[in-house]
Structure 1
Amino acid sequence: MGHGHKNDHGRKVGQEHDGAAAFSKESRGQSRGYALIAVVYLLGLIMGALDMSIVNPARTVIQNTMSVNDALGVWVITIYTLAYAASIPIMGKLADRHGRKSVYLLCILLFGGGSLLCGLARFTNSFELLLAARVIQAIGGGGIMPVATAEFGTAFPEEKRGMALGMVGMVYGVSSILGPSVGSGILEIFGQTEWQYVFFINVPICLIVLVLGAAKLPQSKGENVKPIDGLGTFLLTGMTLSIMYGLKNIDFFNLAQSVASTDVWPFLLIFLVLLPLFVLREKKAADPILNPSYFTNRNIVITLVCSIISGIVMMGTIFFPQFCENAMMMKSGSGGYFIAILGIGTAIGSMGSGRLIDKHGVKPILGAGFVGAAVGSLFMAFVACEYPNLLTVCLSMFLSGAGLGFTMGTPLNYMMLNNTDDAESNSALATMSLVRSIGTAVAPAIMVAFIVHASVGMQDNLMDALPKQVSVSPLPYAAQIDQKLDDMRADEETAEMLEGLDIPRLSDYQTIEVNMDSEGSDFDVEINDELLEKMENSDVTTIVGVCKEMTSDIFAQVKPKLISQAAEGMETGLVTMNEKAQEMQQAYDSLAETIAQLEETDAAIPGLFDEAEANYLTSIDDNAEQIQQVYQQTLNGGFRGMAIFVAIVALIGLLVLVPYKDNRPGQKNEVIEV
Structure 2
Amino acid sequence: MENENGYSKKVQSALMVMFLLGIFIGGMDSGIVSPARTVIADALGVSADTSIWMITIYTLVYAVIMPISGKLADRYGKKKLFVFSITVFGIGSALCGISDYFGGYSFLIVARIIQAIGGGGIMPIATAFIGESFPKEKRGAALGLVGATYGIATTLGPTIGSGIINIFGRDNWGLLFFINVPICVVVVIMAARIKIKEKEFTDKKLDVLGSIIVSFMILSIMYAVTNLNFHDFGQSLKSTNVYPFLIVFIVLLPVFIYRENRAEDPIINLDYFRNRNIRITLIMALVVGCGMMSVVFIPQFGENVLRLSQGSGGYLITVMAICSGIAAPVGGKFIDKYSAKAVLLVGFASTVVGTLTLALFVSKTNNAIGLFIALALMGIGMGLTMGTPLNYLMQTYVKREEASSAQATLSLIKSVGIAVSPNILVNFIAEAGDKMPTKLMEVMPKIPGMASSASHSLGVSDVPSNILNSFQNADVTSITGVMKEFSNFMFDKAKPLIEQGMVGHLPPHTSMDTVFNGMKAQYLHQVDGAKTVIENTFQSTLNSGFASLFIASAIIALIGFICALFLKNKDSESSK
1:233-284 Cα deviation digits (max 9, x unpaired): 0000111010111111222232222112211111111000000110111111
Alignment of 1:136-535 (within 5 A): 136-216=114-194, 218-468=196-446, 512=448, 520=456, 526-535=462-471
For structure 2, the residue ranges without an aligned partner over 5 or more in a row are none
Pick from 539, 543, 553 the counterpart of residue 646 of structure 1. 553
Matched, 1:634 2:570: no
CA distance in 1: counterparts of 2:9 and 2:226, whole angstroms: 48
What does residue 562 of structure 1 align with? 498
Does residue 547 of the first structure (1) align with residue 483 of the second (2)? Answer: yes
- Residue 77 of structure 1 pairs with residue 13 of structure 2: no
Question: Take 1:524 and 1:652, find their aligned partners in 2: how far apart are those partners?
Answer: 41
Q: Paired residue for 2:9?
A: 29
1:224 CA displacement: 3.9
Give the Cα separation in 1 of the matches to 2:164 and 2:566: 46
Partners of 1:385 and 1:640 within 8 A in 2: yes
**Secondary structure class of the residue paired with 2:534:** helix
Superposition RMSD in Å: 2.1
Once the two structures are superposed, what CA deviation does each residue of 1:453-511 show, in whole Å capped at 9, x if it has no partner?
A: 11101111111122235xxxxxxxxxxxxxxxxxxxxxxxxxxxxxxxxxxxxxxxxxx
Structure 1, unmatched stretches of 5+, are 1-19, 470-511, 574-596
2:543 matches 1:607: no
Q: Distance in 1 between matches of 2:457 and 2:74?
A: 70
Paired letter, 2:205: P
Contact 1:366/1:407 (8 A) holds in 2: yes
Alpha-carbon distance in 1 for matches of 2:158, 2:301:
14
Cα distance in structure 1, aligned partners of 2:514 and 2:496: 11
Check whether the contact 1:525–1:557 (CA below 8 A) recurs between aligned residues. no
- The residue aligned with 1:670 is 574
2:95 pairs with one of 100, 117, 133: 117
- After superposition, give the CA deviation of every residue in 1:44-88 in whole Å (9 maximum; x if it has no partner): 111000111111100111111222222211111111111111110
The alignment partner of 1:335 has SS state of coil
Aligned counterpart, 1:622: 529
Aligned mates of 1:559, 1:190 — CA distance in 2: 48
Spell out the pairing of 1:63-102 with structure 2 (5 A cutoff). Answer: 63-102=41-80
Letter of the 2:549 counterpart:
M
- Counterpart Cα distance in 2 of 1:260 and 1:607: 54
Give the structure 2 partner of residue 50 of structure 1: 28
Q: CA deviation at 1:124?
A: 2.4
Amino acid at match of 1:108: I
Measured at CA, do residues 552 and 125 of structure 1 come closer, stay the same or move farther in structure 2, by a change above 3 Å?
farther
Taking every aligned residue pair, what percent have the same amino acid on both sides?
41
Kept after mapping to 1: 8 A contact 2:449/2:497? no
Question: How big is each residue's C-alpha offset from its partner over 1:530-566, in whole Å with a ceiling of 9 and x where there is no partner?
Answer: 2112211111122111111111222233335533x25
Q: Aligned equivalents of 2:310 and 2:443: distance in 1?
A: 23
Structure 1 counterpart of 2:474: 538
**Any idea what SS the aligned residue of 2:31 has?**
coil
| Preserved CA contact (<8 Å) 1:463 1:516 | no
Q: Give yes or no for contact 2:152–2:324 (8 Å, CA) kept in 1.
A: yes
Indicate conservation of the 8 Å contact 1:518/1:524, yes or no: no
Answering whether residue 561 of structure 2 is matched by residue 661 of structure 1, we say no
SS in 2 for 1:606: helix
Q: Report the CA distance shift for 1:371/1:598 in structure 2 as closer, same or farther (over 3 A).
A: closer
Q: 1:635 to 1:36 in 2, by over 3 A?
A: same
Partner of residue 128, structure 1: 106
Provide the residue aligned with 2:40 in structure 1.
62
2:143, 2:489 → 1: CA distance? 58
Give the secondary-structure state (helix, strand or coil) at the position aligned to 2:365: coil
Change (3 A) 1:276 1:525: closer
- Which sits farther off after the overlay, 202-211 or 44-53? 202-211
Alpha carbons 1:540, 1:632 under 8 Å: kept: yes
For 2:461 and 2:112, how far apart are their aligned partners in 1?
45
- Sort the Cα spacing of 1:116 and 1:645 in 2 relative to 1 into closer, same or farther, 3 A: same
- For each residue in 1:169-205, what CA deviation from the matched residue of structure 2 results, as whole angstroms up to 9, or x when unmatched? 0110111111111110111111134211111111111
Residue by residue, what CA displacement relative to the aligned partner does 1:513-544 show, whole Å, maximum 9, x if unpaired? Answer: 56687664589952112211221111112211
Secondary structure of 1:669's counterpart equals coil
- Contact kept in structure 1, 2:27 and 2:150, CA below 8 Å: yes
- Which deviates more, 550-559 or 143-152? 550-559
Larger Rg: 1 or 2?
1
Please state whether the residue corresponding to 1:124 is helix, strand or coil.
coil
Q: Which moved more, 1:532-541 or 1:438-447?
A: 532-541
CA deviation after TM superposition for structure 1 residue 114, in Å: 1.0
Equivalents in 1 of 2:430, 2:473: separation in Å? 12
Q: Deviations over 1:337-374 (max 9, x none)?
A: 11111112212221221111111111121122111111
User: 1:518 touches 1:525 (CA, 8 Å); kept in 2?
Assistant: no
Distance 1:430 1:520, change over 3 A: closer
**SS state of the match for residue 65, structure 2?**
helix
Task: Provide the rounded CA distance (Å) in 2 between the counterparts of 1:112 and 1:331.
Answer: 36
Q: Distance in 2 between matches of 1:243 and 1:29?
A: 44
Task: Give the whole-Å Cα distance in 2 for the aligned partners of 1:324 and 1:189.
Answer: 23
1:464 match: secondary structure: helix
Structure 2 CA distance for aligned equivalents of residues 262 and 206 of structure 1? 39
1:389 is displaced (CA, Å) by 2.7
- Cα pair 1:381 1:640 within 8 Å, conserved: yes
CA distance in 2, matches of 1:168, 1:60: 31
Count of aligned positions: 576
Separation of aligned partners in 2, 1:561 and 1:181:
51
The corresponding residue for 1:487 is none
For residues 139 and 248 of structure 2, the distance between their equivalents in structure 1, rounded to whole angstroms, comes to 40
1:594-644 CA-partner distances (Å, limit 9, x unpaired)? xxx94313x2x3112212222222222222222112111111111111111
CA distance in 2, matches of 1:523, 1:368: 49
Q: Does the C-alpha gap of structure 1 residues 516 and 222 become closer, same or farther in structure 2, counting only changes over 3 Å?
A: farther
Q: Residue type of the partner of 1:92?
A: G
Q: Distance in 2 between matches of 1:138 and 1:201?
A: 16
Residues of 2 paired with 1:225 and 1:182: CA distance?
Answer: 45
